């Protein structure tokens, strides 16, 4: 039941005890909203605009006083404190099994009989490409010089794109993890678990577009994960400040008391109830407990009742009251204005006092809605993720962070242990900034018409990157090292030389820098960051020091300018192994947590520039991973046999194109920013060449849309004009064309062989490369330049997540959008061209059929690649949308005009001949 707590301004002493009890209580009143905390957020954000203000000084002084008081206690037990600062993997020097001493993971390179032919074919294809372009350039088509020149430019760009995409796959690897060794090393019988703690981040914005039932299933799968409960905390970011999301989590916290023990008692997979109960498999397989059937039926009834309550909340939220939402105690909901509201935090479940129906503790569940005020930049998802970084650092401060989209649930309860096999390995983990899992999806039709699974990217490209410096960050299903998010470099990375980038290139060292000012500034920023790293790591080597001495030795000004004005948060950044400082009490933690999510907290700091999720693009994931790799970190790609996480994808054509448009627009924004991989991060040479090529490919691929549209238009022009872009083939030219086609096929076949990807997935990926290239990517390029030149910003639209029970119900939906115009036009003109070409050949005779086949093959290449798009336009097979009828009328009109223009079956009579025949007639 909702109830109101006293305001902070009037009852400070009372609320401190209330907050302390609130944080550690059993959370029986799960709907309580900390309204008094909101006023603290507003007050702090108004008074901490400038550095060095009295509030900050008071915070620092109070921090020092608490440290001074704690130092006396620490002198009594110096050995214990010193041991606590040692990472767990370094403490494990005692007696344990030989299995625990073995590596937690191993790299499995591809066998030579698979990778060697693959590399040979790549080199051969590169050589054939060079010979092919020599022939194309030295043999122009004089009768169609414009078409020939356009085709040459397009083909050169395609070859450049292929090089960027192909060579980062030079050394693909597979990895195997050993979770049993992880347990043997860090979970010894009779002792507390020494596994590292993990903070889960779940982000949501609009509960009407992202159904709460989907979000709560993700949360439930996290709470029920196979990991020590005291090591798991789940933070849900509600960036829309929706009361529906808040009430949904209140219901979820109650249902979790029954769902979590059920999952753990019977080893349920997956542990998201909606997806577990909807499985079409034998749920009795491998289940030996006699009580399982009874318990499952009872749990299914409980979940159905839970769904009814959730649906009732959604139905109630469809229409907002004029006076706004009110809580059950009559007070207005603080988030009634989603663009102007205070910060809100609610701890629904906690480690102490929150028990399930069997009396076991539950993981922590925290609702977070950061403060929003007009006039402040909020940076969309990246800003929300950074707010969660700070809140989690204050409340739990786990050394690792795993972020998920609201529609990506935990499909493998062992997923965290899989990641820890890399992050907690003493030999590997110190260099790893994050472990990326592949994205897998539910609810996609078997044919995967629009390549929603992205199988080629996740099973081919990402494996290739794992053999270089690591996969790129793809936005969800990623477990981070918190220290890497704070902008620190890896511990073993040497500091940059003072003149690292003042005179030479990072990869060859022989050419002078063209932009010394940018390189110097970049080197300066890196040097400042290295000074901070050096200070921290040098202090760790001092044997007799306490927290107070450390806080005095390190420059507070450097931390303030980097991390912001929160002493508690700054202290947490120094704790490499995580954990909440002993000097903090629960009331201070809640107060600081509200403070760090205020609007003005990030002003004049490095948030979004050097630390946290990086701002400047709607694809903040690419930027964030790129910055980490530039600092020298490497990442790991983890592909367990059972997919770690699964999500939902927009399977209808319109939503899929809008999703691709958003990704492409983010890449264009990065290309036009200072973080462009073409020139950023050369100082120090920490980013490997092939890794840089991969990042360049991620930001230039939308520009392929320009030559692709031109190349897809060429066949129709050739068929309508009777000209062609290729001259009459000689034996050498025929051999080059044949060799090029064979090398393309061989490369694809060998990729299929070492990656295990099906040929159907490869073909779907190729088709959607054309569909997305001539539509979404094209629009992204123009929108990106409009934003840069005219300042016209495009709104970020949340992809609608489906909660319907009908299988593939959205596949046949047609939502008309301007993105459909370019591919539809290309389809029409190529079909018209084919008809015109055959008509012209019938009129001219047998000699015209030879050149026709080359042109028609070219046109059919375009039509076959756009076939899924055409099928999507048709909608359901038993009914035709109105838009298709309109296009059919237009197509018929075009055919009629072309027919009249060409007039194929009537012999053309010369005008002079007609005049002579008229004169000879005797009238």
- Residues annotated as part of the active site: 239, 621
CB neighbour class for 208 (10 Å; exposed up to 12, middle 13-18, buried from 19): middle
Give CA–CA dist 477/405, Å, rounded.
Answer: 8
Q: Where are any strands of DSSP class E within 563-637?
A: 634-637
Residue 239 known to bind ligand: yes
Give CA–CA dist 454/334, Å, rounded.
Answer: 41
Give CA–CA dist 447/472, Å, rounded.
Answer: 27
Give CA–CA dist 410/271, Å, rounded.
Answer: 7
Q: Taking the CA atoms of the chain, what radius of gyration do you get in angstroms?
A: 31
Give CA–CA dist 881/887, Å, rounded.
Answer: 10
| Of the candidates 552, 503, 508, the residue with the CA atom closest to the CA atom of residue 523 | 503
Give CA–CA dist 324/320, Å, rounded.
Answer: 6
Residue 670, C-beta contacts closer than 8 angstroms, at least 6 positions apart: 616, 617, 619, 622, 623, 676, 677, 699
Q: Cα 285–288–294 angle (5° rounding)?
A: 90
Give CA–CA dist 91/101, Å, rounded.
Answer: 13
3-state SS, 294-334, equals HHHHHHHHHHHHHHHHHHHHHHHHCCCCCCCCECCCCCECC
Residue 518 known to bind ligand: no
Query: Side-chain half-sphere of 245: how many Cα atoms within 13 Å?
Result: 32
Residue 5, C-beta contacts closer than 8 angstroms, at least 6 positions apart: 15, 18, 22, 32, 33, 34, 35, 36
Residue 203 known to bind ligand: yes
Per-residue tokens: 134: 């020599």
Residue 210 known to bind ligand: yes
| Of the candidates 757, 408, 589, 548, the residue with the CA atom closest to the CA atom of residue 34 | 589
Burial code (b: 16+ CB inside 10 Å, e: under 16) for 313-325 equals bbeebeeeeeeeb
> 888, 466 in Cβ contact below 8 A?
no
Residue 537 phi, psi dihedral angles, 5° rounding: -75, -30
Residue 912 to residues 97, 844, 915, 916: CA-CA distances in angstroms? 103, 21, 5, 6
Residue 107 phi, psi dihedral angles, 5° rounding: -95, 130
Which residue's structure tokens are 């301007």?
A: 818
| Of the candidates 97, 375, 368, the residue with the CA atom closest to the CA atom of residue 241 | 368
> 151, 711 in Cβ contact below 8 A?
yes
- DSSP secondary-structure letter at 922? -
Strand order in the sheet with 440-442: 409-410, 645-648, 440-442
Alpha helices by DSSP H, listed for 631-672, are: 653-671
Strand order in the sheet with 198-204: 344-349, 364-369, 232-238, 198-204, 400-405, 478-481, 432-436, 634-637
Alpha helices by DSSP H, listed for 444-546, are: 455-456, 462-466, 482-485, 516-540
Per-residue tokens: 464: 């290739």
CA 863, distance to chain mean position in Å, is 32
Residue 515 known to bind ligand: no
DSSP assignment of 671-704: HTSTT-TTTTT-TT--S-HHHHHHHHHHHHGGGG
Query: Which residues fall in the annotated binding site?
Result: 203, 209-210, 239, 380-381, 405
Query: Which residues fall in the annotated binding site for UDP-alpha-D-glucose?
Result: 203, 209-210, 239, 380
Query: Which residues fall in the annotated binding site for Mn(2+)?
Result: 381, 405
């Amino acid at each position: 039941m909702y109830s109101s707590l006293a305001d902070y301004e009037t009852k400070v002493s009372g609320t401190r005890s209330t907050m302390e009890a609130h944080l550690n209580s059993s959370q029986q009143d799960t709907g309580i909203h900390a309204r008094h905390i909101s006023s603290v957020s507003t007050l702090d954000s108004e008074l901490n605009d400038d550095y060095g203000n009295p509030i900050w000084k008071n915070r620092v002084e109070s921090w020092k006083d608490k440290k001074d008081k704690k130092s006396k206690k620490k002198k009594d037990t110096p050995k214990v404190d010193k041991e606590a600062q040692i990472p767990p993997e370094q403490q494990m020097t005692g007696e344990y099994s030989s299995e625990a001493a073995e590596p937690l993971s191993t790299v499995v390179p591809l066998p030579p009989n698979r990778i060697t032919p693959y590399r040979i074919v790549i080199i051969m294809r590169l050589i054939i490409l060079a010979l092919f372009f020599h022939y194309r350039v030295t043999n122009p088509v004089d009768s169609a010089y414009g078409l020939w020149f356009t085709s040459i430019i397009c083909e050169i760009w395609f070859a450049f794109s292929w090089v960027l995409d192909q060579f980062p796959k030079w050394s693909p690897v597979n990895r195997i993890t050993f979770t049993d060794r992880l347990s043997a090393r860090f979970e010894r019988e009779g002792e507390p678990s020494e596994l590292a703690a993990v903070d889960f981040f779940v982000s949501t914005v609009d509960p009407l577009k992202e159904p709460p039932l989907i979000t709560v299933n993700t949360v439930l799968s996290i709470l029920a994960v196979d990991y020590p409960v005291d090591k798991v905390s789940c933070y849900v970011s509600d960036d829309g400040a929706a009361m529906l999301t808040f009430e949904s989590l209140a219901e979820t916290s109650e249902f979790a008391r029954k769902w979590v023990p059920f999952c753990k008692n019977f080893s349920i997979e997956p542990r998201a109830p909606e997806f577990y109960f909807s499985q079409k498999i034998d749920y009795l397989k491998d289940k030996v407990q006699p009580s399982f059937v009874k318990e499952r039926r009872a749990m299914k009834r409980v979940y159905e009742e839970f769904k009814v309550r959730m649906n009732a909340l959604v139905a109630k939220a469809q229409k907002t009251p004029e006076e706004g939402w009110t809580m059950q105690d009559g007070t207005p909901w603080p988030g009634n204005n989603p663009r102007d509201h205070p910060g809100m935090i609610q701890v629904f479940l906690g480690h102490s006092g929150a028990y399930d129906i069997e009396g076991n503790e539950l993981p922590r569940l925290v609702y977070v809605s950061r403060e929003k005020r007009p006039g402040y930049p909020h940076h969309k998802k990246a800003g929300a993720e950074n707010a969660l970084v700070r809140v989690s650092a204050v409340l739990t401060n786990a050394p690792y962070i795993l972020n998920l989209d609201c529609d990506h649930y935990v499909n493998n309860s062992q997923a965290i242990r899989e990641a820890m096999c890399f992050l907690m390995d003493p030999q590997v983990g110190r260099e790893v900034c994050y472990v990326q899992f592949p994205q897998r999806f539910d609810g996609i039709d078997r044919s995967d018409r629009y390549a929603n699974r992205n199988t080629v990217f996740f099973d081919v490209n990402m494996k290739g990157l794992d053999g270089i410096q690591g996969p790129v960050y793809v936005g969800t299903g990623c477990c981070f090292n918190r220290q890497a998010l704070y902008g620190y470099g890896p511990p073993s990375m040497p500091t940059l030389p003072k003149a690292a980038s003042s005179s030479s290139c990072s990869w060859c060292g022989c050419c002078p820098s063209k932009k010394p000012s940018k390189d110097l500034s970049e080197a300066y920023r890196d040097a400042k960051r290295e000074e901070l790293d050096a200070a921290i790591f040098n202090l760790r080597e001092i044997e007799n020091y306490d927290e107070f001495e450390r806080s005095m030795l390190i420059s507070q000004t450097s931390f303030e300018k980097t991390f912001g004005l929160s002493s508690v948060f700054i202290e947490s950044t120094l704790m490499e192994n995580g954990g909440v400082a002993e000097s903090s009490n629960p009331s201070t933690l809640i107060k600081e947590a509200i403070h760090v999510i205020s609007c003005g907290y990030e002003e004049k700091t490095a948030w979004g520039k050097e630390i946290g999720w990086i701002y400047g693009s709607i694809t903040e994931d690419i930027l964030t991973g790129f910055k980490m790799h530039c600092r020298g970190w490497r990442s790991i790609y983890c592909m367990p046999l059972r997919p770690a996480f699964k999500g939902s994808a927009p399977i209808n054509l319109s939503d899929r194109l809008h999703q691709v448009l958003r990704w492409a627009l983010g890449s264009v924004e990065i290309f036009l920013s200072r973080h462009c991989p073409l020139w950023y991060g050369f100082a120090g040479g920490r980013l490997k060449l092939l890794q840089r090529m991969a990042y360049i490919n991620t930001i230039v691929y939308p520009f392929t849309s320009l030559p692709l549209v031109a190349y897809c238009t060429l066949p129709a022009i050739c068929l309508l004009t009777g000209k062609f872009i290729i001259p009459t083939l000689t034996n050498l030219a025929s051999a080059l064309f044949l060799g090029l086609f064979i090398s393309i096929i061989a490369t694809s076949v060998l990729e299929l062989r070492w990656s295990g990807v099906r040929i159907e997935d490869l073909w779907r990926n190729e088709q959607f490369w054309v569909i997305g290239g001539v539509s979404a990517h094209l629009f992204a390029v123009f929108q990106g330049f409009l934003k840069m030149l005219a300042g016209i910003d495009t709104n970020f639209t949340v992809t609608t997540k489906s909660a319907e029970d009908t299988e593939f119900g959205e596949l046949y939906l047609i939502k008309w959008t301007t993105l459909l115009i370019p591919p539809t036009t290309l389809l029409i003109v190529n079909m018209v061209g084919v008809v015109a070409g055959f008509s012209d050949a019938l009129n001219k005779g047998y000699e015209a059929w030879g050149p026709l086949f080359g042109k028609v093959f070219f046109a059919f290449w375009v039509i076959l690649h756009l076939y899924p798009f055409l099928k999507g336009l048709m909608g359901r097979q038993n009914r035709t949308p109105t838009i298709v009828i309109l296009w059919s009328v237009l197509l018929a009109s075009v055919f009629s005009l072309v027919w009249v223009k060409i007039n194929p079956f009537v012999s053309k009579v010369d005008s002079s001949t007609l005049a002579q025949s008229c004169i000879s007639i005797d009238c």
